A and B are shown apart, each in its own frame.
Chain A
Amino acid sequence: MKLSDRKTWNLRALLAAPTAFLLIFFFGPLLIMVVYSFLTPGIYGGVDWTFSHLNYGRILGWADTKYEKFDPVFLWIFLRSLRLAALTVLTCVLVSYPAAFWISRMPKARRNMAIFLVTLPFFVSLIVRLFAWVLILRPTGFLNQGLMGLGLTSEPLEFLYTDFAVIVGMTYVFIPFMFLPLYASIEKLDSSQIEASMDLGATRFQTFRKVVLPATLPGIIGGSVITFIPSLGNFIVPSVLGGAKVVMIGNLIEQQFLSARNWPFGSALAMLVMAAVLCLLLAQLKLARTTEERA
């Protein structure tokens, strides 16, 4: 047996266990969901093994005309989820970009401390952090009291259980996801490139637009994708900060599985989220490839 052959076999042996694990516990459940999404819900929960495309029809526009008419509410929830996730990504970029820039220019010892501080919220339970936001945003909360104290408003404003609260909450939760890839790409940018640009006559703004932004675009795209995906399917933030008023697709799926016990419909919704995410990933892949070709 040749050495290279032996190496290959060793490698295969090492990879066998994790591969098997992924096949059984990742693709297995996924496959079950795919199958369930084409079945009929059982009367007492569970599934009836009869094929049905109406789970998708209920969402996308064709309905079982016998029992119900098509209601676009599910589609609206899906589109609203896309919008909220996109807005979350946007606010995450707006907050993380200057922060990452600032931290990347700090002396090394302080830089590591700052990165630690950015990731610090991870060490506290998500539920605790979200309820802290409830305390801030509720009508008698800190934000309203502050605004009224300053005389900016006479009555408490409605913050809690709005899109605003959900976006604030998700931004807060996902900032580290955006910050780290952004930081990685900004830190790589040689500050002498910024100087070179100014040396060649570009103002600070021109330098940002022509040098800094294009050079850090991979970080922005990477951060956006890994922020968008969990935002889209998130159900904890909207259920704590959005209440019954702001329902996202994640809440809907949760309801279908846990309260409505309509597993096939829940599966179909989940498949739709997955399809959206896959489309996004493919687009990113294509974008990365074209920039690579150009670069």
Chain B
Amino acid sequence: MDTDQNRAVTRTFSLRGLTSSPFERGRTRQTDDVSGFNMPAPLEIIGAHKAFRSPEGATVTALDNVSVKLAQAEFMTLLGPSGCGKTTLLRTISGFETLDAGDILIDGKEVTNQPAFRRPVNTVFQRYALFDHMNVARNVGYALEIAGKSKRDIQARVGEMLELVGLEGLGQRNISQLSGGQQQRVALARALAAKPKLLLLDEPLSALDKNLRQKMQQELKTLQRELGIGFIFVTHDQEEALTMSDRIAVLANGKIQQLGAPDALYTKPANLFTADFLGESNLLPVAIERGVATLADGQNFPCSNESAKGTLLLRPEVLRRTAPSEPSLTVQGTVVASYYQGKDCLVDFESPSLGALKANLREFKSLPERGETVSFYASTSDLHVINEVSS
């Protein structure tokens, strides 16, 4: 996605959104076709801007001209370090924060100034926020109870939801009698009971232990596919983001650094932040001239980047101990430390010309010893050059 062009488009959109008459604002806005069918996007954010005043009196920009459009039934993850603006973005969608500028459209309808209780979205909160004075069934049926549905309808839907999340027969339990994982499921069932157009999930798995978290990741993904509604998932866990998402929006300093499919983000990051934030990386400066990139040690490889300088992203796992038949780079160095991790092994080594590097070996007969001189190879097709140079 070309960010500059994107920004220009957003400007005009947000201006139009701010200056349009109330009549126009309420109308369904024609949006680009994202799904192939002529349906409005489940969520569209246009030029969102939000600043906070810190306790010290400084102004902190939480969202800086953020524009994003969700495709039909898409699982999108907002990923970034704490304080990057991901939670603020989620809270503006749910309606707990109002934007300073910009528009939010849910299902093609503008909701920018609507209070949370009017929006057709529901949230799974980080610490679940279950009502502990109600039993499981009343928690799950809460939205329907508020909407004034009949007892029979509520009971039927609650049963359906509990079955969906695998808690059949636990409706009469108290919240305090449930395990963390079960509470998580209740929160999920409660948020889905009113059939929201969009489900927002605010780091919902962060309180679970690793095994349960992985299980829930898969279940959430399956559930999202079955329901066919959009999920916006906030996390700071990059592995979680890579596992579950259709697309990931990497956020930092209130801006979307990159938006794309997990594999594209991982193998071809657009900037240093994304490269560094997602997974482990070796970042090496290169000089580029006439389609050839040259490393500090003089090795070169074909490169189509336009800029004169760049950074080579060398993922630790593309390094191999045996030279491949296709053209490749060779890095040599002395092992500083090696870590056995079961299915793979991590090697920290120091190259005289390229500095400290990391390699992740899938196939190895024996662990490289400390002080041993090693050679690693990376085929040039596995290389990716970023147009930025680290300062």
Contact = CB atoms under 8 A, between A and B. Distances in A.
Interface of A: 107, 190, 192-193, 195-203, 206, 210-211, 214-215, 217, 295
Contacts of B123: 195-196, 199
A195 B95 CA distance: 10
Contacts of A200: 117, 122, 142-143, 146, 190-191, 194
Contacts of A295: 132-133, 174, 176
A196 B125 contact: yes
A193 B123 CA distance: 11
A206 B121 CA distance: 18
Task: List the 6 closest pairs (A to B, CB-CB), nearest first.
Answer: A192-B129, A200-B143, A196-B129, A198-B116, A202-B146, A214-B133
A295 B130 CA distance: 13
A157 to B, nearest CB: 43
B322 to A, nearest CB: 54
Contacts of B194: 200-201
B117 A203 contact: yes
12 contacts: A190-B129, A193-B130, A195-B123, A196-B125, A199-B94, A199-B96, A200-B142, A201-B146, A202-B146, A210-B145, A214-B134, A215-B132
A107 B129 CA distance: 21
Given A198-B116, A199-B116, A200-B190, A215 B133 contact: yes
B125 A201 contact: no
A24 to B, nearest CB: 42
B131 interface: yes
Contacts of B55: 107
Contact of B147 (A107, A190, A197, A201): A201
**Most A C-beta atoms less than 10 A away, residue of B95, B121, B146:** B146
B140 to A, nearest CB: 10
A203 B147 CA distance: 11
Contacts of A190: 127, 129
A195 B131 contact: no
Q: For the side of the interface on B, what is the size category? A: 20 to 34
B26 interface: no
B166 interface: no
A193 B183 CA distance: 14
Contacts of A202: 117, 142, 146
Contact of A192 (B125, B134, B142, B145): B125
B146 A195 contact: no
A198 B117 contact: yes
Contacts of A211: 131, 133
Given A200-B142, A200-B143, A215-B132, A195 B116 contact: yes
A217 to B, nearest CB: 8
B302 interface: no
B291 interface: no
B83 interface: no
B324 interface: no
A190 B126 CA distance: 12
Interface in B134-160: 134, 142-143, 145-147
Nearest to B121: A199
A198 B125 contact: no
Interface in B44-81: 55
B96 A206 contact: no
